[in-house]
Structure 1
């Protein structure tokens, strides 16, 4: 008989580490707010959440690795925002950050969630860090209001993924 494994987003018994990059802090603080609120809403006890701040996205994998290796957490969430500029710096930081977090996820026991925005513009990052889950309106060239797709806080989404994946890992 086929066995189906699933996670869920009940966080009540879980211990969660969140590592947040301070660079682009207007964006990353909104991601953190969404993440923490979602963890609390899903039943994670305030005393079971640890938050560590790092200077930028490049430093995220190292601290995620320390948390994951400690054995004290059921999931680790990395939050950051890398916004494209005029130099190739974006490509190096975004790529190595993603690669580093993936390496930690594959090498360690708890799930490590990639909640790092990699956007072309500040506006794109702001939309993905929004604390409202509603249609975003903007004007086209003729000044007519245009409705864009629904946006939500990617920090909140990362929290849900962390809870789900930690329960799935436990079921395997």
Structure 2
């Protein structure tokens, strides 16, 4: 029989860092509201959440790295919004913020969740930050909670059964 490791939505006793881009603040404030609602509904105490604001989505990976370097967070949720414009700037910021967030997660062995909307226009961003398409801030916090459980499960399984060769 296969071994299965599945994260759950039990956020009790978790410490979560949330980093929020101030660029496109109309959208990122809605994402943060969704993330806080998810944390509350999954049992994370308000005092176990630290929120850091950065100028833009490009700065999210550096802030996530600093948070994990200086304190023992269970996970970090990075929230931002990049809306396509007329120049290649969108592609650079969207790509580098995604790459950087993934890199920080691998470097520190902790869940760092990419909660950055990359949309073609403001209507799409509004839809995904509490509109008809849900709230990706809520989804990102829920993903962080589940991934803490997955990481813990992998660690426990490895400690019991020995490291994979």
| TM-score higher than 0.5 | yes
* Contact 1:68–1:109 (CA under 8 A) maintained in structure 2: no
Q: Matches of 2:66 and 2:2 in 1, distance apart? A: 37
- Deviation string 1:84-131 (CA, Å, 9 cap, x unpaired) is 00111101111111111111011112100000000011100000001x
Partner of 2:145: 163
Matched, 1:102 2:102: yes
Residues 46-125 of structure 1: matches in 2 within 5 Å?
46-125=46-125
1:29, distance to aligned residue in structure 2 (A): 0.2
Moved over 3 A (4+): none
Q: What secondary structure is seen at the aligned counterpart in 1 of 2:85?
A: coil
Structure 1, gaps ≥5 residues long: 137-150
Cα distance in 2 between the residues matched to 1:105 and 1:170: 14
In 2, Cα distance between equivalents of 1:11 and 1:69: 22
In structure 1, the partner of 2:159 is none
**8 Å contact kept, 1:13–1:44:** yes
Aligned length: 154
Q: Is the 1:57–1:82 Cα contact (8 Å) retained in structure 2?
A: yes
CA distance in 1, matches of 2:10, 2:147: 11
Superposition TM-score, scaled by structure 2 size: 0.90
Instruction: Find the counterpart in structure 1 of residue 5 from structure 2.
Output: 5
Q: How much has 1:69 moved relative to structure 2?
A: 2.3
Evaluate the alpha carbon distance shift between residue 70 and residue 171 of structure 1 in structure 2; reply closer, same or farther with a 3 A threshold: farther
TM-score normalised by length of structure 1: 0.87
| Secondary structure in structure 2 of the residue aligned to 1:76 | strand
Considering only CA atoms, is the larger Rg found in Structure 1 or Structure 2? 1
Q: What is the deviation of 1:47?
A: 0.7
Unaligned runs of 5+ in 2: 155-165
